[in-house]
Structure 1
């Protein structure tokens, strides 16, 4: 059974913005149960109308049908002027030269009470613009017998148990009053501007949404050229097809370091002799790193010599420079940058050494576009953040607490570095103790 939808922004029978409050021993009536439906339905309609506006959200394209006076409406989603959802869930073929007894070209909820009443033939003028429009409609469905009546099921003894959301389609000869001709383009500056007269839009006076302007050819023939889906179609902005994509980016990491974390070079005499001849620090990454960053290690890479003296830690900064004999290169182990220690080999014995890497901002990045910051996190010592900061700020030589030397001990951390987040701090140590 077809139900005419009221031309209003609020449902008939709505009582302000009230929702039902149930309490024990309350006598419940149909109005009580329906009121909550009205409350939430009007809330949704108001939200749609004032926040999203009205018009075609997606789909509902028009194309010629197989018959001379036929068009086909593709599935689509539309917001009506009063905030109602209009959902066309499948292709609909409309004969523009016919209309039902209710005046609509087509309505899925039309109540054909008289089987002898077929659709009425309507003569359409050629070369005259018509407006194919859709509006929200409701239909009552699923009749059930009312308790206490006879076994029949006429209009008196049965009640419809459901209300179905539907729509009605009509070919209008005049443009609805809610449309301007020509349609003005909205000004985004006006939408974004904060002005004192930024009032809420008034409730529209007509329920129709124009899908297309249609001009019939000779003999009421529908042609592709006679369908204009842009002249008066209002489009509602939708972000359904837009989304953020968090790229699964693999960040650069430190694969290995030489001398290795926690080792004492004195335990390997061959390794000690090699290192004593040319004191070097080698850092191997999993990929090629940006050369300008490698050439300026002071911003991200620092090296200190630590010794014990009178229950204090003597901290001496040793500066680094890329080795000209061993320029950064890639081999089977990764991309290795080799740094010379600007200190004599004899000065480096009977000492411990601390290496820190701090990947912040764009201090050390790979060569991709855009560049990825090193994922540096690696805790190879037991030094606290405060102690690491104290050492990081040593620019020449100073004395610090003996606890710094005591905390220069091995942890269970293993390489490669990283916590899957760009940046971070790396600290490792080794010793040359006999």
Structure 2
């Protein structure tokens, strides 16, 4: 963990290094992923079977390729009542929030008499990747699948790795709650390739979303253009902007809530109170020693964590914008004032009683967010990621006569005579 103070002479250089720090996987997996993608594209199910046997250590012909809807429903019903209620609350709030995102069609006639507009339609099929292995992420399934359903996607496909043939019942329960049509026991880059190109068993989709490891992220990068993707996600990150009136234990817990994800995650505190900064650092150390995920969280905090002391919280905001982080907490008396100054962030959490973890599960906004400074130009996952917009226009004779001459002039200037002719013929006929 590094400590910075804007008053230090070397602050600018050290903060530049923090902004530019590369936390993506150091290993170059592009060549290996390209081999996997090509194999699945060319060999289909045979390649999926071979990669699953090699990487997940089970035979799909024995354990089963697909989990049926009845098994998903049974997994949901078997949950402890408290957990089932929590999933239902999360699903309801995610659905309600994303229903507000549905775009409206436009249709109007302008002064020239041209009818103009745009029509939104859902893609036909979407694929959701859900990480597997030692952790289960039912919240990730809900965050990806529910917006697709709200958008109107007709076919919703879930793929998830099943090491040694085992699949976490929480994932199946979430698939039931989200209304998934298909759940396949395949994961990794090979699953992304199957969704993009299709196999005899798994029909291709139009959009692929969901997080994964470096191989999954690279596979999404390579199949983009064959299918749409949500984003290429990197290690998680949180920035907390907090004044000295906060409980340091709360802020420490917020920083560690991201640090426990992975050793490459980044947790940064900005504060205008140097004494408070020290209390938070001490609280982080106390909590780390008692945290079951200490082995991961400690490495993340010590390697990538930072505490930055600023003269005022308002002066922290341009620095936060340079980081363009995935999550920003604004823990102060007037969070809206700071939020008004914020330009670049995946999601913002306003006030002392709004920990980032609430947003991960039950608040409603999507937790699939841009990382690695991509919030400068990208947004979190939403309904329109599963939709496309078709513009339309309609001219009558009068409108064509008004716009036609300018079209002809521009087409000729660009050296495209057939373009000009297609308009000129109609104008002559009209006259």
Alignment TM class, shorter chain as reference = under 0.3
Higher helix share: 2
Higher strand share: 1
* TM superposition score normalised by structure 1: 0.17
Larger relative contact order, structure 1 or 2 (CA cutoff 8 Å, min sep 6): 2
Who wins on radius of gyration, i.e. which is larger? Answer: 1
* TM superposition score normalised by structure 2: 0.17
